[in-house]
Structure 1
Amino acid sequence: MQTRLSPTLLATPLGKTADQVIRSCVHCGFCNATCPTYQLLGDELDGPRGRIYQIKQVLEGAPATATLQQHLDRCLTCRACETTCPSGVEYHKLLDIGRERVEQQVPRPLPQRLQRRLIQFMFSETARIRPLLSLGRLVRPLLPRSLKKRIPPRHKLPHFTPGQHERTMLLLDGCVQPAAAPHINALAIRLFDRLGIDLSIPSGSGCCGALHFHLGDTERARQSARRNIDAWWPAIELGAEAIVSTATGCTPMLKEYAQLLADDPDYAQRAARMVDMTRDLSEVVRDENPDALGPVKGRRIAFHSPCSLQHAQQLDGIVEDILTRAGYTLTPVRDKHLCCGSAGTYSILQPKLSKQLARNKIDALQEKQPELIATANIGCLLQLQAGADKEVVHWVELLADLAPE
């Protein structure tokens, strides 16, 4: 696709990136075939190809509009289009640039601004989420069934005494997960302990920054990145091997820190090193001989591979292989590439589309009558848990008790 970006914009790193992404698009339309919003709405402007064209117009000087902003808001950033694209178009990079540019040109109505600020304030800090969840659990018996299922149950934390190991890895604690499902990280620590790895959570780390970044608040995302790097750096200097997250929605953001802080002379080098160390939980378990974690008498499992795992990180099939080798039977899932509709804050900001996507995904997961559903991201887990008839768990829960003593 040809571009007519101004020389001033082309002289900037963002302009060069936008120009490269737009030029790599060949208009083939394969992306629309796997785009969840295009599948639901049938509107070219709500598909990747249409959004690329709209962003191109704005970057070439056309005025942004509230209608364009809505089309960009409807994108889940699931990146299924990138998996499908034969030309390797890095759509998400252009989307981030376009959203930021449109946000600068089109002031949102006051209710939208307040809603987005409230979401950032409430959900970026575990200490703020816990009281909210406690209140929800307190009134849960009084709520209708549809609302009850949206409040995650309290889980008993595993009690164990970790051993002492020469190998060390760092675990991102996150923001929502430590409040909604703290047992997930606890079980990951237990699993790694039994595999001979000290998986520690340095004090001071927290939200990965994705919440702010995808709501257009790039500076707060940078602040989160700097905070985490500061918290992790002493352990990195002492020889920590890797940085791991049990929430696949966080891992792609961690892998973007080098780009996010590229212009920061105090953090650019450390961010680049940190990105090189960042690994998805599934990558680590795969490389640590998962055959030692079983076998079990096979339960039938439907696995939902989050978009952040199969599309953003291109790690499709790793968790499925680990679970199969551990003895579980995985049921086939129709349209497994499609998003469940969680997508960070999408379920709050686009509830109608999110509910449609969730219903479609749950139907596909339960179609072959599995005993339970497993996933790899806290957002997906909460989204599926709210509508599924089957129990929904994080896949690490299926392995934690299998590792050798």
Structure 2
Amino acid sequence: MQTRLADFIRDTADGAEAEAILRKCVHCGFCTATCPTFQLLGDELDSPRGRIYLIKQMLEGEPVSARTRLHLDRCLSCRSCETTCPSGVEYGRLVDIGRKWAETLAPPRAAPEAAKRWLLANAVSKPAVFGFAYRAGQRLRPLLPKVLAAKVAAPQSPGTWPAPRHSRKWLVLGGCAQPALLPGVNAAAARVLDRIGISLIAVRNDGCCGALRFHLNDHDGGRADAAGLLARWLPAIERGEVEGVVVTASGCGSFIREYAHLFRDDASLNGAAARVTERVLDISELLVRHFEAITAVMQTVSEPPKRLAFHSPCSLQHGLKIRGVAERLLVAAGYELTPVADAHLCCGSAGSYSILQPEISERLRDNKLRDLAAGMPCGIASANVGCIAHLASGANTPVRHWVEWLSDQLDQ
């Protein structure tokens, strides 16, 4: 694709990256077949190819309307199109640039919309603030509107967390929303790892990975959150106290994997980002390294297999490009996994998307739940906090992190 960038962006880092990405696109349209919003809405401008054209026109100096920004807002950033694209177009990075400039060049958002986005970026990303608000919502759940009450789960016990007793140790990301929404996930991971000789260490108040604010166009805020994590993790890694960092939320893991790129122009943080990210693993990546040990522990389990439907979050399969690993571990633990149609399509959670685009999000959720329920499972397993909470708001069967289901088997 030929490009002629406008003066305002031509000689900038954003301009250089956007131009390189745009030039890879050959207009083939393969991306439209795997784009959730295009499948629902049938509008070319709500497909990756259409949004690429909108971004190209904007960066070449064409007028930018609120309608242009809406089509970019409707993108889930699921990156299914990247998996499909034969030309290797890095669409996720391009749409981040497009949204950033659309926010600047389009007419200002209406005050209620702007306020909602600000609140999401600045409240949810702070664990103490979000935790307090969520616990208040749990107490007031009977009084909340039905739509909002569906997003608030009953209080959950985190379960036991084994004391550190092994020479092998890994840190674990707590994150911003997960401690309140799913307090048992990291404890379950700690119990599973303890059984195979690894102690999991929590970093108190480690905070948000930066994805939430960054994807809401607060790029500086997102980088500040990411820099905070680097500052908390790097000393323990460099002193050899831990082998690395485990992440149990694939959405966070996908963003953390991009830290070196995020700080590519920051000489003070680029090296630290590279050293840390090479030591960050999704929980499935760490556990599969010890597959034989997991299998050995499971030989003592005599329970008959339960049927589960596995939902692979977009951040896991398209962002981290991890496919089939959690599923293999669940099967080794004695679960029977049901087939799921259109497993590549997004569930509609997508970070803050379910709040900002509720109609599209709920349609995608209901479609996903229909496909997950087709095999009549006793429960649903997933790998990302947002997806689990979103699916649970409309599901008739339990929706839990897959490592919690795994822990159930090991704890017998």
Q: Report whether the alignment pairs 1:67 with 2:99.
A: no
Residue 354 of structure 1 is matched in structure 2 by 361
- Corresponding residue of 1:375: 382
Does the Cα contact within 8 Å between 1:154 and 1:181 map onto a contact in 2?
A: no
Post-superposition shift, 1:178? Answer: 0.3
Q: Deviations over 1:71-97 (max 9, x none)?
A: 000000000101111111110111111
| Unaligned 5+ runs, structure 1 | none
1:230 is aligned to 231
Quick one: structure 1 residues 293 and 7, their matched pair in 2 at CA, closer, same or farther if it must change by over 3 Å?
farther
The one of 376, 394, 400 equivalent to 1:387 is: 394
How far did residue 11 of structure 1 move?
A: 3.7
* 1:282 lines up with 2:284 in the alignment: yes
CA distance in 2, matches of 1:249, 1:118: 20
Find the aligned partners of 1:383 and 1:28 in 2 and give their Cα distance. Answer: 33
Query: Residue 195 of structure 1 contacts residue 403 of structure 1 at CA under 8 Å; is this kept in 2?
Result: no
**SS across alignment from 1:27:** coil
Calculate the TM-score normalised by the size of structure 2.
0.94
1:335 aligns with 2:356: no
How is 1:187-226 mapped onto 2 (pairs within 5 angstroms)? Answer: 187-226=188-227
For 1:148 and 1:207, the matched residues in 2 are separated by 24
Q: Deviations over 1:263-288 (max 9, x none)?
A: 22221110111121121111111111
1:36 maps to which residue? 36
Give aligned-pair identity as a percent.
49
How far does residue 134 in structure 1 lie from its aligned partner after superposition?
Answer: 2.1
User: Whole-Å Cα distance in 1 between the matches of residues 136 and 233 of structure 2?
Assistant: 33
Question: How many angstroms apart in 2 are the aligned matches of 1:280 and 1:233?
Answer: 18
SS in 2 for 1:134: helix
Paired positions, count: 405
2:363 aligned partner, one-letter code = Q
Structure 1 residue identity aligned to 2:163: P
Q: Does 1:174 align with 2:175?
A: yes
Amino acid of the structure 1 residue aligned with 2:314:
C
Structure-1 separation of matches of 2:101 and 2:147: 38
The corresponding residue for 1:100 is 100
**1 CA distance for matches of 2:195 and 2:222?**
34
Q: Aligned partners of 1:161, 1:78: CA distance in 2, in Å? A: 35
Query: Hey, what's the Cα distance between the residues in 2 that align with 1:12 and 1:161?
Result: 50
Cα distance in 2 for residues equivalent to 1:399 and 1:90: 34
- Partner-residue secondary structure (3-state), 1:251: helix
- Name the TM-score, length of structure 1 as normaliser: 0.96
CA distance in 2, matches of 1:179, 1:146: 19
Give the SS at the match of 2:52.
Answer: helix
1:22 maps to: 22
Note the 1:142-161 alignment, pairs <5 A.
142=143, 147-161=148-162
Whole-angstrom CA distance in 1 between matches of 2:105 and 2:310: 41
d(CA) in 2 for partners of 1:100, 1:292? 50
Equivalent in the alignment of 2:296 = 292
Deviates more, 1:55-64 or 1:40-49: 55-64
Structure 1 residues 118-153: Cα deviation after superposition (integer angstroms, max 9, x where no partner): 112221112112222222222334557665432112
Structure 2 residue ranges without an equivalent (≥5):
none
How much does 1:157 deviate?
2.4
